[in-house]
Structure 1
C-alpha cells in the first residue's frame, strides 16, 4: 500500500476547452427548445378552441357552430341562432310584402289607365244630343267597354319600377332558397312560419271578378309571385 502512489488525473488544456464548448452549446439550445415547446403548446390550445363549421346536406337540427352561406357566418351561441330564426321569419314576410307591393302598383297603373281612357271614350260617345236616362246609361256602359278594350302598355319609368319590384322579389326568394338548402329543421320551420304570417297579413283581400282590374289584362300573378 505504501509502495503504491495515488495519482490524481489532471485534465489537459484541450479537454478543458472541449468541455467548456459543449456546456455553452447546451446552454444556448435550452431556450430555443423551450420556446419551441411553448409555441407548439400555444398552437395546440388555439386549435382546440376553434371549432369547425357544421354543414350538412341532410336533414339536421344543428344550432351551435352551424354555418350559413359562408364560414364567417358561424353561429356561436343559442341567442345568435334565435336571432337568425327571427330574421328569417321577417325575410319571408318581406318577400310577401314585395309581392303585394308589385300587385298594388300594377293595379294603380291600370286604374290610372282606365280613368284616362274612360274620359276620352266618354267625350267621344257623349257627342250626341240624347238626354234620356236610358241613353245616358247606355253611353256610360259603352264608354266603360271601350276603355276596357284599349290595351295598356307601361312607359319606360313605370316598367323600370315594375322590374325593380321583380328583381328584389327574385333576389330575396333566391337567398331564402339558399338558406333552406342547408336542410336545417329550425330554418325550414321558420320559413314556413314567415310564409303563413306574410300571406295572412298581406294577401288578405277581396276575392272575386271585381277584386282586381289586372285580371282583365292578363297581368295577374300566381301564388309564386310570377306572371301568369
Structure 2
C-alpha cells in the first residue's frame, strides 16, 4: 500500500512545481508581450496613415487617395491646401475655356453666314442692300441658323468637357476625406476662381452672360 501511494505523492508534487513555475513565468511573458505591443502601437501611430470618414482636422500623417500620398510635415500639408485652391481655380478656368470656345465657334458661324448672305445679295439685282450688308458686316440683316460643330471642333469641346469632369471628380474625392482644412480650401478656391474668371458683362435682356460680340452666351445660344 505504501508502495502504491508513493507515485501519486510524487506526481502531485511535480504537478504543483510545474504550475508554480508556469505561473511565475506568466507575468514576465505578458510584460514582454505588452512591451512589444506598445512599441508596435507607437510605430503605427507615427508611420501609418490617418484616415477618417468623419469630420477631422488631421494634418501630419494624413493620407489622401493612396498610401503613397501621405503628409509628412506641416509644410507638406500647406502645399496640399494651396494645391486644393489651385485645382478649383483650374476647374473654373476649364469652364470658362469651354464657354469661350463655344463663343468662338458661334462667331465663325456668324461670319460665314454673313459673308454668304452678302455674296448672294451682291450678285442679285438689289445692290443697295448687298452693299449695306457688306459694308456694315452686321448680323441684323442676316438670319443666323443653328449649326452643328465639325468633327474636330466637337472633339475639342469633348476634351474640354472631359478635363472639367475628371478634375471635378478628383476634387470630390479630396473632399470625401472630410478634412476641415481641405474643404475650406476647396470653398475658398471656388470663390476666387468664380470671382476672377466669371467676372463678365451680364446681358440684361436674357439674364445670362453676354458674349464678346454683344449677343447671348454661347451655352444659351446653342446649348
Write the distance in 2 (CA, Å) between the matches of 1:46 and 1:58. 25
User: RMSD of aligned C-alpha atoms?
Assistant: 3.1
Report the counterpart of residue 81 of structure 1 in structure 2. Answer: 77
How high is the TM-score relative to the length of structure 1?
A: 0.68
C-alpha contact (below 8 Å) 2:175/2:182 kept by paired residues: yes
Partner SS, residue 61 of structure 1: coil
Q: Describe how 1:115-194 pairs up with structure 2 within 5 A.
A: 115-130=111-126, 144=139, 147-194=142-189
Give the corresponding residue for 2:96: 100
- Kept in 2, the 8 Å contact 1:114–1:148? The answer is no
Rg (Cα) greater in structure: 1
Give the alignment partner of residue 114 of structure 1, picking from 93, 110, 115.
Answer: 110
Q: Mark the runs of 5 or more structure 1 residues left unpaired by the alignment.
A: 1-36, 220-228
Q: Deviations over 1:32-91 (max 9, x none)?
A: xxxxx9xxx999857633432221111111111211111221112111111100011001
Is 1:211 matched up with 2:210? Answer: yes
Query: How far apart, in 1, do the equivalents of 2:146 and 2:186 lie?
Result: 39
Which residue is equivalent to 1:49? 43
Instruction: Give a deviation string over 1:186-225, Cα, whole Å, max 9, x none.
Output: 0110001111111111111111058124256332xxxxxx
Is the contact between residue 95 and residue 172 of structure 1 (CA under 8 Å) also seen in structure 2?
A: yes
Cα deviation code 1:126-181 (max 9, x no counterpart): 4444466x89658989x725754322111111111111100000000000001011
Unaligned stretches of 5+ residues in structure 2: 1-31
Q: How many residues are aligned here?
A: 180
